Structure 1
């Protein structure tokens, strides 16, 4: 409807944080529209992994999949997905802190959450990976400059 009646070009794609150098999948739907029905837009190409969980924790960290039902975040209801939020680092079980979560999202080290650790973790859980956003915006700006 938007494209035909109003003359927009509309594009969408599910993009994962892992496609933009971060050590997590975190798929998110990106939608881009232009007020020109003739624009051809291409989402950015995936990039190689730049950091791993071992880099974030400065230790050896094999992926360890839990055999329990996953809790969908602190205080959330249980669902049927596997638990991915516990890791073994140098032989010890480790949970993700907000500082580590910031690195996993591509936030700069100087970024500060002005809220409690619990609220920071909730915000990180609802966020979109910064490098993915930056890559999509870069493509949008590139397209706008050529029009």
Structure 2
């Protein structure tokens, strides 16, 4: 099995389809998607020709088609440093149990999950351990690692924990997450022309630029100035480094994207640039307002990281052998 050809996957907490982009790249077939945000559903339908089902908590397990792979970046605000970190006390945190519910019923070959880095250490690690125990009891070997998207040809600093869960009868006792690619993409590589970004220029009299402006490329955000008091959304960066982590929330003059000194102008990133910063294709359709687009790309996943992880998955001997020898039970 060189690819996921003929393997079916479901796209939970689908957002705008970041996981779908990666799974379809390797030949997977999406048989079900779920997303509660109506604006995200508009973008999803515009790009994939189908509207996701709504609130997953209202969908019975038997109503979901059988599948080989369950994937999703389940809502992370309950575990985020920028949130209140209430974990399972927060309704959004309990959505992990929807994954467990569906997994218990369908027993897919693999789960592919993503969340914020802080999930691993939330509540002194108790929250994550509880998740791992649940997945183990459901019959899965779990591998996880925190990766920075900037190390995988993504021009953005974005640390996330990625989880691969293999059904134990697959015999996958070891999985090696991909090493950094060694090649870097910088923000300046994906920027739009000035005449397409005029509306995103920030014109204020309280901006300060440092004298030692960074001109050298670096695989990290390079801060070169401030707006106002320099709080979140009020920091200026060089385009020769990486973008700061895109966010669905936050305030400041450059909320959600950060500010950058580009061709002598300080500005936010345009939604199309956020699209490229997350690794979506250049022709990805953005049918919503700028505000909604910022939210959607901030909530999404870095597609090149997912592809790098899956590249190692499709090469696993245990998974290939299982699928070859059990073709009669693959839905």
Please give the range of the TM-score, normalised by the shorter of the 2 chains: 0.7 to 0.9
Residue 187 of structure 2 is aligned to residue 53 of structure 1: yes
Match of 1:136 in 2: 309
Q: 1:65 to 1:130 in 2, by over 3 A?
A: farther
Matching residue within 160, 167, 172 for 1:35: 167
Q: Is the 8 A contact 2:248 2:297 kept in 1?
A: no
Q: Is the 8 A contact 2:155 2:187 kept in 1?
A: yes
Q: 1:108 to 1:34 in 2, by over 3 A?
A: same
Q: CA deviation at 1:30?
A: 0.4
Q: Secondary structure at the match of 2:161?
A: strand
Matching residue within 231, 234, 238 for 1:69: 231
Q: 1:126 to 1:55 in 2, by over 3 A?
A: same
Q: Is the 8 A contact 1:98 1:121 kept in 2?
A: yes
- Once residues 116 and 77 of structure 1 are traced to their aligned partners in structure 2, the CA distance between those partners, rounded to angstroms, is 17
Q: Is the 8 A contact 2:248 2:298 kept in 1?
A: no
TM-score of the pair, normalised by structure 2 = 0.38
Q: 1:8 to 1:100 in 2, by over 3 A?
A: same
Residue 292 of structure 2 is aligned to residue 119 of structure 1: yes
Match of 1:145 in 2: 320
Q: Which has the higher contact order (CA 8 A, sep 6+)?
A: 1
Q: 1:77 to 1:94 in 2, by over 3 A?
A: closer
Q: Deviations over 1:29-80 (max 9, x none)?
A: 1011111265111111111343211222268x853253611049576368xx
Structure 1: stretches of 5+ with no match in the other structure: none
Matching residue within 20, 26, 32 for 2:158: 26
Matching residue within 256, 263, 268 for 1:90: 263
Match of 1:110 in 2: 283
- Once residues 112 and 8 of structure 1 are traced to their aligned partners in structure 2, the CA distance between those partners, rounded to angstroms, is 36
Q: CA deviation at 1:146?
A: 5.3
Q: Deviations over 1:92-125 (max 9, x none)?
A: 1021011111111111111012221111110111
Q: 1:14 to 1:65 in 2, by over 3 A?
A: farther
Structure whose residues are more often helix by fraction: 2
Structure 2: stretches of 5+ with no match in the other structure: 1-132, 194-213, 216-221, 234-245, 323-331
The range that moved more, 50-59 or 10-19, is: 50-59
C-alpha RMSD of the superposition: 2.9
